[in-house]
Structure 1
Amino acid sequence: MFVKEDVINALKQVEDPELHQSIVDLNMIRNIQINDTQIALDIMLTIPGCPLKATIQQDVEKTLQAIGASDVAITFGAMSDQERRELTSMLKSKNVTDQGMPNMLLPNSGVQFIAITSGKGGVGKSTVTINLAVALARLGKRVGILDADIYGFSIPAMMNIEQKPTMLDQTAIPVESHGVKIMSMGFFTKDNQPVMWRGPMLNKWIRNFLVNTLWGDLDYLLIDLPPGTGDVAIDMAAMIPQAQELIVTTPHLAASHVALRAGLMAQHTKHTILGVVENMAYFEGPDGHKNFLFGQGGAEQLADLLQTNVIAHIPFAQPEENTGSSVYAEESIIGEVFTHLAEDLLYQ
């Protein structure tokens, strides 16, 4: 036989799968009724039609059965507008200072910001972003991706994400995939419609992604910048002066020549350059022979000019078939390259 307090203490271990906080602390548990070893309770979801309702139900049932419940009856409801506003206010107070600055931007936050940039499009910048983020998550780190390529957003499609962020009033809960929290303009457009904005609107949305997103506790936030040195890159440098940068290029000398501009901008804004990542470095045939389809030397030339190092050579390879995702399996050749890159960054 157990009492109400036993049920509450057990449910403190169950987290909302989006907010990653105890469902008890979030005031989601109501009307606990106990009849011998049978338990009935109400769960108030943050929004009607919560996409992870089934996960919450399974976690609650499993937890209560572990303390001896023979039957668990759950009735689901949804928080009122007022309760949702109070919850949002409480959550934002943990993420934003009284002056409206995200806590993660404070010097002592412990969050490391890594901006992934390139001089031109098509060199695999977003591929590097998502696979490095996933590699860091596989190593046990809490990781987020901010897809700051407002015009050329691609992260949701590349990670095969169809879910939209849950909205609490005007505050977003990032979508999670492969253990990584993600925010992208791609979640807020319909049918791949183009974004046609000028500079001030770009700045506003980047700030929204930082301020009005419940990122929670992170170790790393990777920022997928648009190629080149335009408005978003300038705004990001001003908003996150402590960011470090990875410069992505291909081996072709022309590509590295263009990428130099992105590296020089990083130096101008006093961002630390972590190194150069050479994508599409070579194709390895069945006989093990490496074919350098785009030539050689471009990345090394770029690194020399920026007084840094080439920290990864990523070959051509196809991601797992039939998944629709550009995330490489951990045991694949490229997956191993990103694991080594993530480990190198951890121990810098």
Structure 2
Amino acid sequence: MAECDSCPSNDGCSKDKKRCMIENNPLNNVKKIIAVMSGKGGVGKSSISVLIAKQLKQLGYSVGVLDADITGPSIPRLLGLKDKKAYGNNDMILPVETSDGMKVMSLNFVAENEEDPVISRGPIISNMVKQFWTGVLWGDLDFLVIDMPPGTGDVALTVLQTIPIDGIVMVSVPQDFVSMIVSKAVNMAKKLNINVIGVIENMSYIACPDCGKKIKLFSGDNTDKFLKEMDLKLLGELPMLNSIRNLDENEYDSRDESVELIFKPITNSIIKDLE
């Protein structure tokens, strides 16, 4: 198809191109796109999106972050960009940049007040997300990390069908009902023939401050069963830490070093899968 010629994922695309709805901006050259998804809200998906992006940046890659969670955008606060605004230039939106050079787009950058609710129906919200892909001047990027909305509805479907996703990182927590909801998101990705890189289990344990022993709040049986049934790889387990909960740009470099030690191999595994 002619539309596929300008698609950055054309060479490795596994989608049925007869049904492909992907749109692209010829001014942008994004090499790899990672969607961070869960199907369930409140599992730390946005924080993990930021951690992945930051790790990629530290490894020397050019990185962008697209906040597709239109009704609950939190990326600006997590990256210390709370009061920043995005502006237009020649019919294009210029993304906001962090102090370390990451390009970021979120609804809060164009909203008058970040507390204002988004009172719109699904198709309108879906078009907003599409605009963040085709109407934003991302330029040349090695990686674009997309913070997905919870659920498997209109907006999530729009992202997966209209943006050339190279791989999805699923986020879960060690609870049976959460695994069930995440399974829906996994099955959605599989039906659309999109690669699921693996699962990051957030809030997996608490590390004892005295001896360092991992204290599991929930049994690991549910996680093991979930991974086996869905044929998924466990990319890593993240502990419950204030340094993750209070993540923002100003605190990032001074957070607990254990997060760095845990998350660096997770990011390396993601990169390897996409090679």
1:71-90 matches, cutoff 5 A: none
> Quick one: which of 99, 104, 122 aligns to 1:199?
122
Asked if 1 retains the 8 angstrom alpha-carbon contact of 2:170 and 2:196, the reply is: yes
Query: Per-residue deviation at 1:322?
Result: 8.8
CA RMSD of aligned residues (A): 2.4
Q: Distance in 1 between matches of 2:190 and 2:246?
A: 41
Asked if 1 retains the 8 angstrom alpha-carbon contact of 2:78 and 2:247, the reply is: no
Asked if 1 retains the 8 angstrom alpha-carbon contact of 2:32 and 2:144, the reply is: yes
Aligned to 1:18: none
Task: Please tell me whether residue 257 in structure 1 is matched to residue 180 in structure 2.
Answer: yes
Asked if 1 retains the 8 angstrom alpha-carbon contact of 2:68 and 2:106, the reply is: yes
> Quick one: which of 183, 200, 218 aligns to 2:141?
218
1:243-254 matches, cutoff 5 A: 243-254=166-177
Task: Please tell me whether residue 165 in structure 1 is matched to residue 89 in structure 2.
Answer: no
Q: Distance in 1 between matches of 2:56 and 2:126?
A: 28
Asked if 2 retains the 8 angstrom alpha-carbon contact of 1:249 and 1:279, the reply is: yes
Task: Please tell me whether residue 122 in structure 1 is matched to residue 42 in structure 2.
Answer: yes
Q: Which amino acid aligns with 1:276?
A: V
Please identify the structure whose Cα radius of gyration is greater.
1
Aligned to 2:73: 153
Q: Which amino acid aligns with 1:164?
A: K
Q: Secondary structure at the match of 1:247?
A: strand
Asked if 2 retains the 8 angstrom alpha-carbon contact of 1:328 and 1:335, the reply is: no
Q: Distance in 1 between matches of 2:259 and 2:195?
A: 25
Query: Per-residue deviation at 1:168?
Result: 1.5
Asked if 1 retains the 8 angstrom alpha-carbon contact of 2:64 and 2:102, the reply is: yes
Query: Per-residue deviation at 1:320?
Result: 8.2
Aligned to 2:106: 184
Asked if 2 retains the 8 angstrom alpha-carbon contact of 1:113 and 1:221, the reply is: yes
Instruction: Report percent identity of matched pairs.
Output: 33
Residue deviations 1:106-131 (CA, integer Å, cap 9, x gap): xxx56111111112111010011001
Q: Distance in 2 between matches of 1:242 and 1:124?
A: 21
Q: Secondary structure at the match of 1:145?
A: strand
Aligned to 1:305: 229
1:318-337 matches, cutoff 5 A: 318-319=242-243, 325=249, 328-329=252-253, 332-337=257-262
Taking structure 1 as the reference length, what is the TM-score of the superposition? 0.66
Aligned to 1:231: 154
Q: Which amino acid aligns with 1:338?
A: F
> CA separation of 1:145/1:322 partners in 2, compared to 1, >3 Å: closer, same or farther?
closer
Asked if 1 retains the 8 angstrom alpha-carbon contact of 2:130 and 2:158, the reply is: no
Q: Secondary structure at the match of 1:246?
A: strand
Aligned to 1:294: 218
Taking structure 2 as the reference length, what is the TM-score of the superposition? 0.82
> Quick one: which of 137, 141, 145 aligns to 2:57?
137
Asked if 2 retains the 8 angstrom alpha-carbon contact of 1:131 and 1:328, the reply is: no
Asked if 2 retains the 8 angstrom alpha-carbon contact of 1:104 and 1:110, the reply is: no
Q: Distance in 2 between matches of 1:140 and 1:220?
A: 11
Give the number of equivalent residue pairs: 247
Residue deviations 1:53-94 (CA, integer Å, cap 9, x gap): xxxxxxxxxxxxxxxxxxxxxxxxxxxxxxxxxxxxxxxxxx
Asked if 1 retains the 8 angstrom alpha-carbon contact of 2:86 and 2:96, the reply is: yes
Asked if 2 retains the 8 angstrom alpha-carbon contact of 1:300 and 1:310, the reply is: no
Query: Per-residue deviation at 1:216?
Result: 1.0
Aligned to 2:18: none
Instruction: Please identify, of 269-278 and 300-309, the stretch whose mean Cα deviation from structure 2 is larger.
Output: 300-309
Asked if 2 retains the 8 angstrom alpha-carbon contact of 1:256 and 1:301, the reply is: no
Q: Distance in 2 between matches of 1:323 and 1:134?
A: 11
> CA separation of 1:211/1:320 partners in 2, compared to 1, >3 Å: closer, same or farther?
closer
Query: Per-residue deviation at 1:137?
Result: 0.5
Query: Per-residue deviation at 1:215?
Result: 0.4
Q: Distance in 1 between matches of 2:163 and 2:145?
A: 12
Instruction: Please identify, of 168-177 and 281-290, the stretch whose mean Cα deviation from structure 2 is larger.
Output: 168-177
The structure whose RCO (Cα within 8 Å, separation 6+) is larger is 2
Query: Per-residue deviation at 1:206?
Result: 1.4
Q: Distance in 2 between matches of 1:258 and 1:326?
A: 33
Q: Secondary structure at the match of 2:226?
A: helix
